[in-house]
Structure 1
């Protein structure tokens, strides 16, 4: 149910995480179907971590023509795709199964030693996906990072350049393990539907504090301030 708004940013609160997962999966599927009807194909970028697992399991039950959908990740750790901490591994285990095996999945990883070395090839690959993204789902860390746009990263300002034509950036956070590859703020902000998925009282408090802070703009606020499409926040305890 919708419980409040922050300007035109809609906050949707749910009584349970299962209710949230079902509602979010339905909204994602509806937006993808609208895109297919309008443009013949659709694109979806998803985040990793534990929060979206239940939603992934709901989404893969949605009946639609998944062969017309392109799927990628918002970000990933620069790790082998079978590593336990790989977002791609999580997506393959929990999302890219059954009906969704028909979707076109675009990996953010290659065999280069570093994300910097692999960036150009992955960027070229990603440009095959219909742009801007029809649906993009973000999470948020306790430090206000979203995607792999970390406040501590030396690459942050370049990654957050609002007029950047780059889709991807390499990121080396000092407060989290592993080098990363991430969509840039500009690529995220162009999404037609930008959805934030949060769980737990602490995350809600941190999100509201980040959005209300006029002096220190954390990445989650910077992204949502720059977004020019539909913006919804989904939250459950």
Structure 2
């Protein structure tokens, strides 16, 4: 199956790349163009990214873009509740691979805070996110094989809260089905407000997950469904 064989809703755009390197190049070009436009319009810009292994090439490619990085704010869609030095830390990943070279001048808003409990950490992150330029100018999401995105996991105890964000919470604690279980996630209203949301996926398995997500409407069963409408640009490679 190829991405062009999927029945996409009107307004969704799909970009098929031949390999991960070309996907990273295409994604970096799209993000830098959008950030440059936001800088010209608003004098500042915000970029929210996801973690994991697959974004590394994209981060390193984007970090070399000639942008006014000092006017750009970078944040995370979600985070594991581990210290920045932990191998699973999304903040650590961003610091090692994106906040380098020219991009080191950008400001960074992390989600991890040491606290007695995960709920306390989420409250600290929520307060810190008051500094995030909103709506987010560019959002780069990934997707798990179960249809989760950010740390919006199916069957997670706080999923409905994160989808509805009652009380206008920007960040909530979340329990993942895989280690590390304890997570922090931006809530759906914050993520869904992004001016340019992008979805980056790799491999046939992710394409099949996307096909299943497009075939249904239950957001709680596959939270990525909350984003499968215009505007969204999907970048895929085998």
Task: Give TM-score scaled by structure 1 length.
Answer: 0.92
Alignment length (residue pairs): 233
Question: Matched residue of 1:31: which SS?
Answer: helix
Question: Matched residue of 2:228: which SS?
Answer: helix
Alignment RMSD:
1.8
**Separation in 2 of the partners of 1:169 and 1:191?**
18
Identify the range of structure 1 (119-128 vs 211-220) with the bigger mean alpha-carbon deviation.
Answer: 211-220
Larger RCO (alpha carbons 8 Å, 6+ apart): 2
**Separation in 2 of the partners of 1:215 and 1:146?**
14
Contact 1:3–1:11 (8 Å) recurs in 2: yes
Once the 2 structures are TM-superposed, how far is the Cα of residue 20 of structure 1 from its aligned partner? 1.1
Specify the alignment match of 2:69 in structure 1.
66
- Structure 2: which 5+ runs fail to align? none
- Structure 1: which 5+ runs fail to align? none
Contact 1:152–1:174 (8 Å) recurs in 2: no
Task: Give TM-score scaled by structure 2 length.
Answer: 0.92
Identify the range of structure 1 (41-50 vs 112-121) with the bigger mean alpha-carbon deviation.
Answer: 112-121
Please state if 1:189 is matched with 2:192.
Answer: yes
Contact 1:78–1:114 (8 Å) recurs in 2: no
Q: Of 138, 143, 158, which aligns to 1:140? A: 143
Contact 1:132–1:187 (8 Å) recurs in 2: yes
Contact 1:152–1:173 (8 Å) recurs in 2: no
Specify the alignment match of 1:171 in structure 2.
174
Contact 1:77–1:86 (8 Å) recurs in 2: yes
Question: Matched residue of 1:62: which SS?
Answer: coil
Please state if 1:223 is matched with 2:227.
Answer: yes
Note closer, same or farther for the CA distance 1:135–1:215 as it changes in structure 2 (3 Å cut).
closer
Note closer, same or farther for the CA distance 1:120–1:144 as it changes in structure 2 (3 Å cut).
same
Contact 2:217–2:225 (8 Å) recurs in 1: no
**Separation in 2 of the partners of 1:92 and 1:100?**
10
